[in-house]
Amino acid sequence: MLIGNLGKDPEARHFEGGGMLVRFPIATSESYTNRAGEQVNNTEWHNIVVGRRGLAEVCEKYLKKGHKVYLEGRIKTRQWQDDSGQNRYSTEINVENMTMLTSRQEADSMSQNTGATPSNAPYQSPEPAAAKPTPSSFDTKNNEEDDLPF
């Protein structure tokens, strides 16, 4: 299970017989305070592969660089030999399920800003358009708050 932001637009390959494969990288980040009291940020990149027919079409059509996604899948390591005979390895996440976490409004504002933002600029989530409701505005009889991101 991963939650991260796309590092670039998905690349789709279409095959004879209607099959397709979509690939894109995502970045996952963690931050913590170390023993010395310093803030530490770590970003890890993951190669994502989507081969499920309907899911691959959704990725190609709706996902763009910077969008946040929740992915479930399996880790797969491939081995091959390059032109010089060296063994090479690639680790990928083969996605089985996906949830898009970027709202349509956020996606629209990102696409409007792409002309003004250089492609190598880090992704920053836009400010929320409306304030989040406070716990007192919920019907607390039937709803319990949780800290799940989805």
Cβ atoms 71, 98 nearer than 8 A: yes
Residue 46 lies in a domain: yes
CA dihedral 29, 33, 39, 41 (to 10 degrees): -20
Inside any domain, residue 20: yes
Q: The CATH number of the domain where 89 resides is what?
A: 2.40.50.140
Report yes or no on 147 lying in a domain: no
> What's the confidence (pLDDT) of residue 25?
97
Do the domain assignments include residue 145?
A: no
The residue count for the chain = 150
Q: Tell me the per-residue pLDDT of 111-144, one tens digit each, with 9 for 90 and over.
A: 777 543 333 334 343 443 444 444 443 444 444 5
AA identity, residue 27: A
Answer whether residue 30 is part of any domain: yes
- Structure confidence at residue 105 (pLDDT): 82
Cβ partners under 8 Å of residue 140, min gap 6: none
**Mean pLDDT score, 49-53:** 93
Share of the chain above pLDDT 70, in %: 75
pLDDT of residue 24: 97
| C-alpha pair distances (Å), 119 with each of 32, 61, 124 | 28, 20, 12
The yes-or-no verdict on residue 148 having pLDDT over 70 is no
Place of tokens 């089985």: 96
How many domains in the chain?
A: 1
Output phi, psi for 82, to 5 deg. Answer: -80, -175
Does residue 142 form part of some domain?
no
Per-residue pLDDT, averaged over 102-119, amounts to: 68
Residue range(s) defining the domain that contains residue 66: 2-137
Q: What is the pLDDT of residue 149?
A: 60
Residue 109 inside a domain? The answer is: yes
Both ends of the chain: CA-CA distance in Å? Answer: 12
Q: Give the model confidence (pLDDT) of 76-92 as tens digits.
A: 999 999 999 999 999 99
Residue 118 belongs to some domain of the structure: yes
Residues 123 and 67: their CA atoms lie apart, in Å, by 9
